[in-house]
Structure 1
Amino acid sequence: MKEVNSIRIDQTIKKLLSYATSEEKIDKEYKTYTCLSNRKLYSTEINGEIVSCIGVEFRNSKEGVIKHIAVLPKERGSGIGSSMIRFICKKYNLNFISAETDKDAVMFYTNFGFRVTSLGEKYPGVERFFCEFEVK
């Protein structure tokens, strides 16, 4: 895992972030990662190609919130997403990590061991879920 902190956004990172947020928010979100000390963005490479990223906001020294997590479609299901979460928890010695997601990613978080709670229809026609994990 490599920290992403370049002022210019790599096109693959931009594509990955598009899987995790709306197109119109990508540049603003990326700038937040490069400007705020409590936000970190990491990427994973395979054979020199960026294949995933995870963005985390740290609420305090023991708690993190996954703001963005994405893996290129061709690499999904290979454990990269889970390894990114484990990396963040270990690197920052977290006791707790959470995320908000849609129904498409609920199984990923459930399979990792997150407790998932429906937040209901937060946006018209879109159910959102709160996922929380106590690191042991």
Structure 2
Amino acid sequence: MHNPRMQSTVVTMSDMDRRTSHEAQDTEASTPLNPVPDGVTLGTNLPCWYYFTRPILAILIGGVLFGLGTALSLLYFTQVGNVPYLLGPVFLSVGLMFLVTGLVWVPVVKQRLDYKALTKVNDKALQVHEQH
């Protein structure tokens, strides 16, 4: 017997794609904030390093600024050079901010890539299941 409380709520992606593509043509807000580079189309498999370039760049910039701030602070406190008082701590704090942001960004990108791979597998399994 069919229980009315246990109804299936399966939404096909093709219905959603048709609605969103029609709605996207009507608004200007559908343009992406980060344009896709030339030669790369959406939905293709991009190399893994492509997703990690910005976090690694943030880590590198943070490391350089943090090291520069450390060196300037040491120069000020040892009074070897004529270094302004706030220059070292400013570089230290900005460098630490970039470094921590980059270090947190890497697992976020990794989790996003894992989620995309998981949803692709689930979508394929859902399509196979719907065909049978």
TM-score, with length taken from structure 2: 0.22
Q: Which has the higher strand share?
A: 1
TM-score, with length taken from structure 1: 0.21
Return the index of the structure with the highest Cα Rg: 2
Q: Which has the higher helix share?
A: 2
